[in-house]
Amino acid sequence: MKTQTFNPYLPSWEYIPDGEPRLFGDRVYVYGSHDRFNAPIFCMNDYVCWSAPKDDLSDWRYEGVIYRKNQDPKNKLGLRLLFAPDVVQGTDGLFYLYYAFDFMGIMGVAVSETPVGPFQFLGHIQYPDGTLWGRRKGDQFPFDPGVLVDDDGRVWLYSGFYTPTPAIVTGGIQLKNDGGTVMELEKDMLTIKTEPKVIFPKEGLGSFRNHEFFEASSIRKDGDRYIFVYSSRHNHELCYAVSDRPDGGFRYGGTLVSLGDLFMDGREEEKDGLNYLGNTHGGMLNIGDDWYIFYHRQTNRHSYSRQACAEKLIRTPDGHFLQAEVTSCGLNGKPLEGKGRYEARIACNLWSKDGVGRYDGSNPKGRLKNHPYFTQSGKDREKDGDQFIANIRDGSVAGFKYFVLSDLRRIEVALSGSAEGVMELSFTPDFSVINSVIVVRLEGKQKSFSGNVSADDGVKPLYFRFCGQGYVNFHSFELK
């Protein structure tokens, strides 16, 4: 790679959740929803695309707006929100964008001659008689499309959503939400060829128990195996299932990534998470022998300003994928250099002295007011904005993984806020050994503080803990 890359891998001012990575030619394209910083709801902006050379995943390029909400004739006023999309290349060489409008209960398709558009409205998923899918009583609720154009040219559409309620009423029509579904489409990429059927029921069976389907359908093919990625009922994890056919027979594979590194190292309960939880959604990318899982994290103390992250996967000789640890390195593929300045926004672990919580509707207003969180100065898409960790209070920890340390002697932190205390540095999350103590006194504006470090050489994580009175905003640190 030309430069180091981090998580989140896009610029600090960009908020792309639900990232679906696709390899077309020699470039990787990421299609996702488009959140707005500090928004009151999900996905308020139009679809954009980012791409990078497949041999340099540090070199991301903004491709601009590829599809606008009001291009769909059923959303001329642009009031409905564009949720998680997918893009595939058809057998005709054209590129097809699949999307659903929030909870409207229909699914649209747009088409383009290039992977970056501009995409033009093509139509809505429909039955052979012209009835729109989602407009027939008893239809499964159209949501989160995942699309596969198989080697034989057959087109498969996956969808699904699960809430505790038995049905969803939209447009005066009662729709089911029994879990994850699949259907085959005609060559026109719009018309349903085989009736939608549930293949991932919301009531877990066998190996799926405790990791049942919730949403976020994503499908890939590897040789003669079909790999289905989804968000489980836990909502903070992406899991996968495998089958030797596209329309059923899937077997649970395991967890690919969890926002809080749950289900790793004996962490089963949400209170033991290493990061704040919330929904996540993404897909797998395969380049040569390398596999990656793309996902998103929460910022700004809610679920409406989410950012794109990715981790490299380890695959075993039998084709099994091991759960990826959430890191600051991500697509870098190796630890970060143990010298130089790093922005605090690349922290992969964050918790308060009371642990972590969820950034979603399960939190009563004000419940997380004393917890740290990622935020930014400025308004949405202001490229000069400063993203940082806000509201670090006594006992709060920010963790960064991993760095190759060599002859590290001193560390400097850039902080703002109103506080008096110390910032401790440790290479272990329990702070059993304190490797540096930095005295902090703050009265508003950003200042730098430094301290000596006692460190052996090697690959290590960095954990910062504030102990004292008041609150600290953590902007950056420099390893010297």
Supply the residues annotated as catalytic. 18, 215
C-alpha neighbours within 13 Å on the C-beta side of residue 315: 15
Task: Tell me the β-bridge partners of 460.
Answer: 403
User: Rounded to an integer, what distance in angstroms lies between the CA atom of residue 31 and that of residue 17?
Assistant: 9
DSSP string spanning 330-366? GGG-SPEESSEEEEGGG-SEEEBTTB--BSSTTSPTT
Q: Which of 96, 11, 80 is nearest to 44 (CA)?
A: 80
Residue 104 CA, chain-centre distance (Å), reads 23
Whole-number Å distance between alpha carbons of 366 and 395: 19
Distance CA 185, CA 73 (A): 22
Task: Read off the tokens for 214.
Answer: 């919730």
Asked whether 367 and 313 are in contact (CB, 8 A), the reply is no
181: Cα separation from own chain's centroid: 22
Dihedral Cα 253, 258, 262, 268, nearest 10 deg: -60
Enumerate the β-bridge partners of residue 355: 352
Sole residue written with tokens 């902006």: 45
